[in-house]
Chain A
Amino acid sequence: QKEVEQDPGPLSVPEGAIVSLNCTYSNSAFQYFMWYRQYSRKGPELLMYTYSSGNKEDGRFTAQVDKSSKYISLFIRDSQPSDSATYLCAITTNTGNQFYFGTGTSLTVIP
């Protein structure tokens, strides 16, 4: 079993839609959860970073962690064509010396 599983997509939505991206993980020891956005031919950009359970909001983006279900989500409100990218989830433990990445979800927002 992989440490983290991510819905592979691809996902195609109309502009203005609410997007939900999801990952599940296997080990309750993971405490830190990240979402990255990666445009084509670019390095991953840290989008959201959360510790333990709960929600974190930043503009149109909300990261949600449910440790009881080992489930993490990224919501994008009022999606824009500029949100078209691949989104990667990542998890790590308190020591931060080993990270596990999802396989990425490709998102296309259609104008």
Chain B
Amino acid sequence: SAVISQKPSRDICQRGTSLTIQCQVDSQVTMMFWYRQQPGQSLTLIATANQGSEATYESGFVIDKFPISRPNLTFSTLTVSNMSPEDSSIYLCSAVGGGNEQFFGPGTRLTVL
């Protein structure tokens, strides 16, 4: 299994600012993803974080709003840029193990005022 940590665990931010969320995996993994989850809702995939290349974004998500870095096989960041109250959500990082099982981090609870 993979153990995933995220920082910060929560934050309250002002409209128009940006927040960078860090995700650290305790082992090397090939696939890492970023999700958003609204209260009471299922998971919405934002993008696949590709090591050494640009992230692959899902429909409705763009790089200018959600830039992602993945400098190595254990670490990734997601930035939520120019935030608005609609960006208030839980942001989750995940990684795929060798058997195609997916593990999640504890999440970052973001509130935008």
Contacts and interface: CB of A to CB of B under 8 A. Distances in A.
Contacts of A32: 99-101
Interface string A72-111: 0000000000000000101010101101011110000000
A42 interface: yes
Max chain A C-beta neighbours (<10 A), residue from B43, B104, B106: B43
Contact of A43 (B41, B45, B92, B96): B92
23 contacts: A31-B100, A32-B99, A32-B101, A34-B101, A34-B102, A36-B104, A41-B90, A41-B109, A42-B106, A44-B43, A44-B92, A46-B102, A46-B104, A88-B43, A92-B102, A94-B100, A96-B96, A99-B45, A99-B102, A101-B42, A102-B42, A103-B41, A103-B42
A97 B31 contact: yes
B103 interface: yes
A58 B104 CA distance: 20
Interface of A: 31-32, 34, 36, 41-46, 49, 51, 88, 90, 92, 94, 96-97, 99, 101-104
Contacts of A99: 33, 45, 102
Interface in B36-56: 41-43, 45, 48
B101 A49 contact: yes
Nearest to A92: B100
Q: How large is the interface on B (under 10, 10 to 19, 20 to 34, 35 or more residues)?
A: 20 to 34
Contacts of B17: none
By Cβ-Cβ distance, the 4 closest A-B pairs, closest first, are: A96-B100, A43-B104, A43-B107, A103-B42
A43 B105 contact: yes
B1 interface: yes
A51 B90 CA distance: 29
Contacts of B42: 88, 101-104
Nearest to B48: A97
A43 B102 contact: no
